């Protein structure tokens, strides 16, 4: 099926939102944290640039906005992939989509962190087990910190893939009731694990916290699945509006019960912005047309998303503290470096592994189900 142009272009814009949030907002607002994460010294008492004002609003944060868009896009397109694969080939294709590019980006980041520590005379911040658990994307289940500061979203993605596998027959036939039932179960689970008498007897509170946090975002991704049902003609507009209203209510309720409840409403509201933007563009999707600059960003959005924090912070520090460049000049140079590295990873790793996933699909028997409606054109 043709690619959903609007959703594909949103990937590029979402990656830019996250990069801007980190390279402008976090870089200036959390100087000590950035220094520790990158094995570099803080940028001292330098005043933040005027651009910082765009990324320091209380109720507008481009980072969560971009992540929210990514999650909705996944919810929309993963059921399409599920339609085209057997369960085995779906899982293999999804793992190929994530791990090779992620591991290549992590390898670059480790090299940069080693160089940072040696150049700036700082301690290398991560041990072998932390690096291994990050490479496997299990760090948050074994009590280790994130290295690249963005791979928590990949942990959520992987769990969403497994949920889609479990629900595969119902997702293929567009069972809105099953999606809503899962949403209710997630909320109920969060309410249960937040109950004080139960919390006191939990053997691994950190695992509960991880489940509680990740389940909120899985619930948000299920909203994207509802858009997929409407796209395939399995849900009416009225049904879509009603089911999104219910699911959004469950999402907001879940967040108030989750381990990240302190983020309500400052962070939560940005996911609502993402939902509004996504919904408008979804209904205007037939008017979307190729736009070469945005399409280029979309093509490299995954490696750009992976590299923009650690590599971006490190390049900014080097340009400003070692070479004395102004922040504006350093930011332009950093973006050029990030775009170049992301393009390199896309062409050498990502494109090939995505193609391998497609070959896996062609080698499997096609999935044919009379209960699945004929998909509508995705242009």
Looking at the DSSP bridge assignments, the partners of residue 60 are 57
Q: Pick from 114, 159, 117, 118: which is nearest to 137 by CA?
A: 159
> What's the rounded mean pLDDT across residues 45-59?
90
pLDDT at residue 357 in the model: 82
Model confidence band, residue 192 (pLDDT cutoffs 50, 70, 90): confident
Model confidence band, residue 261 (pLDDT cutoffs 50, 70, 90): very high
pTM: 0.93
**CB–CB of 310/111 below 8 Å?**
no
> What's the rounded mean pLDDT across residues 273-300?
96
Question: Does the pLDDT of residue 26 top 70, yes or no?
Answer: yes
> What's the rounded mean pLDDT across residues 67-81?
96
CA distance 48 to 23: 12
CA distance 286 to 5: 9
Least confident of 83-87, 107-111, 197-201: 197-201
| pLDDT mean across residues, the chain | 91
Which residues, including other chains, have CB under 8 Å from residue 290's CB and lie 6 or more apart? 5
The domain limits of the chain are: 5-363
> What's the rounded mean pLDDT across residues 104-118?
97
Burial class (CB in 10 A: 0-12, 13-18, 19+), 47: exposed
Check residue 124 and give left, alpha or beta (phi > 0: left; psi -120 to 50: alpha). Answer: beta
CA distance 167 to 163: 6
Question: Does the pLDDT of residue 367 top 50, yes or no?
Answer: no
Question: Does the pLDDT of residue 196 top 90, yes or no?
Answer: no
Give, as one character, the DSSP assignment of residue 262.
Answer: G
Helices (H), 42-127: 62-84, 87-120
**CB–CB of 21/274 below 8 Å?**
no
CA distance 310 to 108: 10
Model confidence band, residue 200 (pLDDT cutoffs 50, 70, 90): low
Model confidence band, residue 379 (pLDDT cutoffs 50, 70, 90): very low
pLDDT at residue 366 in the model: 52
- Model pLDDT for residues 211-257, shown as the tens digit of each residue: 999 999 999 999 999 999 999 999 999 999 999 999 999 999 999 99
pLDDT at residue 368 in the model: 38
Residue 12 token pair: 């590029």
Q: Pick from 238, 346, 272: which is nearest to 69 by CA?
A: 272
Q: Which carries the bigger pLDDT value, residue 371 or residue 86?
A: 86
Least confident of 148-162, 183-197, 296-310: 183-197
Q: Pick from 206, 211, 169: which is nearest to 187 by CA?
A: 211
Q: Pick from 163, 185, 206, 197: which is nearest to 71 by CA?
A: 163
- Residue % of the chain over a pLDDT of 70: 94
pLDDT at residue 199 in the model: 67
pLDDT at residue 3 in the model: 57
Residue 18 token pair: 């996250």
Highest mean pLDDT among 36-45, 193-202, 327-336, 349-358 belongs to 327-336
Which residues, including other chains, have CB under 8 Å from residue 266's CB and lie 6 or more apart? 58, 59, 61
Q: What residue ranges in 330-379 does DSSP mark as E strands?
A: none
């Amino acid at each position: 099926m043709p690619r959903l142009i609007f959703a594909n272009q949103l990937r590029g814009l979402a990656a830019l939102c996250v990069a801007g949030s980190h390279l402008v907002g976090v870089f200036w607002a959390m100087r000590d944290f950035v220094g520790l994460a990158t094995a570099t010294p803080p940028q001292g008492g330098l005043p933040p640039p005027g651009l910082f004002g765009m990324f320091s609003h209380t109720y507008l944060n481009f980072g969560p906005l971009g992540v929210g868009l990514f999650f909705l896009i996944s919810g929309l397109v993963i059921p399409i992939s599920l339609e085209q694969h057997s369960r085995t080939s779906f899982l293999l294709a999804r793992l190929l989509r994530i791990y090779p590019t992620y591991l290549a980006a992590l390898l670059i980041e480790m090299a940069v962190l080693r160089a940072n520590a040696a150049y700036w005379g700082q301690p290398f911040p991560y041990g072998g087990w932390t690096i291994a658990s990050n490479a496997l994307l299990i760090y948050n289940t074994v009590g280790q910190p994130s290295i690249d500061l963005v791979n928590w979203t990949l942990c959520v993605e992987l769990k969403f893939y497994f949920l889609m596998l479990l629900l595969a027959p119902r997702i293929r036939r567009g069972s809105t009731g099953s999606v809503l039932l899962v949403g209710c179960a997630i909320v109920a689970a969060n309410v249960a694990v937040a109950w004080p008498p139960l919390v006191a007897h939990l053997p691994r509170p950190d695992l509960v916290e991880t489940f509680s946090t990740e389940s909120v975002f899985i619930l948000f991704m299920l909203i994207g699945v509802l858009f997929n049902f409407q796209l395939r003609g399995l849900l009416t507009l009225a049904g879509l509006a009603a089911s999104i209203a219910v699911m959004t209510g469950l999402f907001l309720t879940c967040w108030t019960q989750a381990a990240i409840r302190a983020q309500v409403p400052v962070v939560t509201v940005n996911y609502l912005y993402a939902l509004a933007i996504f919904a408008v563009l979804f209904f205007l999707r037939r008017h979307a047309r190729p736009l070469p600059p945005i399409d280029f960003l979309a093509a490299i959005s995954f490696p750009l998303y992976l590299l923009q924090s650690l590599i971006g912070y490190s390049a900014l520090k080097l340009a400003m503290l070692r070479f004395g460049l102004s922040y504006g000049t350093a930011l332009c140079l950093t973006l050029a470096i990030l775009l170049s590295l992301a393009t390199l990873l896309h062409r050498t790793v990502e494109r090939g592994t995505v193609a391998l996933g497609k070959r896996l699909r062609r080698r499997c028997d096609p999935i044919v189900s009379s209960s699945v409606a004929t998909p509508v054109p995705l242009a």
